[in-house]
Amino acid sequence: LLDKVAIVTQPENVHFSYLAKKFAQQFKEVDGEITDTIYLTTTKQDYIKILETLKSKDPELLYLPLDIDYLFNIKTALSKLNWYPAIMLSDGILANVKVQTEYPLNLLDGMLEIDAYSYNMDFTDFGEQLLKQVSLMGIGTQDISLYSVLGMEGYALLIHTMNQCLISNNSRQACINNAIRSTQRFEGVKGLISFDATGKAHRSLTINQINNGQLDFIVQVY
């Protein structure tokens, strides 16, 4: 178990800021210590100095909800310091790395990522059906990105809710919206998904390790 974690994030990114805040809140609830929280407002930073400050408090993990540019600079600075702490990233980062050409694909190797998908965890029955369909197109499980999975689940959810709203009047849009927000235990590719009244999805997450540009499944958290 981890006792001490340092956080580095981007305050202008609402999603990353939310992740950093929730991580810190939940980590403290289990008596964990956040040694530092660093907010980066520009990629032009003295990363060596920042990391030396973090290192002095001996965190066991760096939680880095950051975009690719920041991660590359931090990874470079860590190598110069000869410091190799455990690192956890935000969701979807590997998918972003795969669609860009500026940074090498192995940039994130060895790092942990919390996500909704890993190619080598168990599929649901719905996931197995989709897998057969994409296999017919010559696409393997390791080629399916998080965004592809979310797209398939979103399409299936939309069809599911539209079938509940087969009415030909102006209330159909409201019906679909309400149906999505009241959906409980919808079978996704890798597990069940429920929605609250705000439209926020609640689902199990997976902790994966990035190796050779792939997400290797470690554990599923419910």
Specify the pLDDT at position 37.
96
Q: Where are the domains of the chain?
A: 4-115+204-221, 125-202
* Per-chain mean pLDDT for the chain: 88
Architecture of the domain made up of 4-115+204-221: 3-Layer(aba) Sandwich (3.40)
The answer on pLDDT for 56 being more than 80 is yes
Q: How many Cα atoms occupy the beta-carbon half-sphere of 214 within 13 Å?
A: 13
The residue-averaged pLDDT of 103-131 equals 84
Highest mean pLDDT among 143-147, 177-181, 215-219: 177-181
121 or 42: whose pLDDT is higher?
42
What are the DSSP calls for 45-78, one per residue? --HHHHHHHHHTT--SEEEE---HHHHHHHHHHH
The whole-model pTM stands at 0.79
pLDDT band at 77 (very low <50, low <70, confident <90, very high): very high
Specify the pLDDT at position 170.
63
Q: How many Cα atoms occupy the beta-carbon half-sphere of 208 within 13 Å?
A: 28
The answer on pLDDT for 119 being more than 80 is no
What are the DSSP calls for 193-205, one per residue? EEE-TT--EEE-E
Mind listing the pLDDT tens digit for each residue in 173-186? 888 888 899 999 99
Hey, which residues does 115 pair with through a beta bridge? 206
The residue-averaged pLDDT of 98-105 equals 77
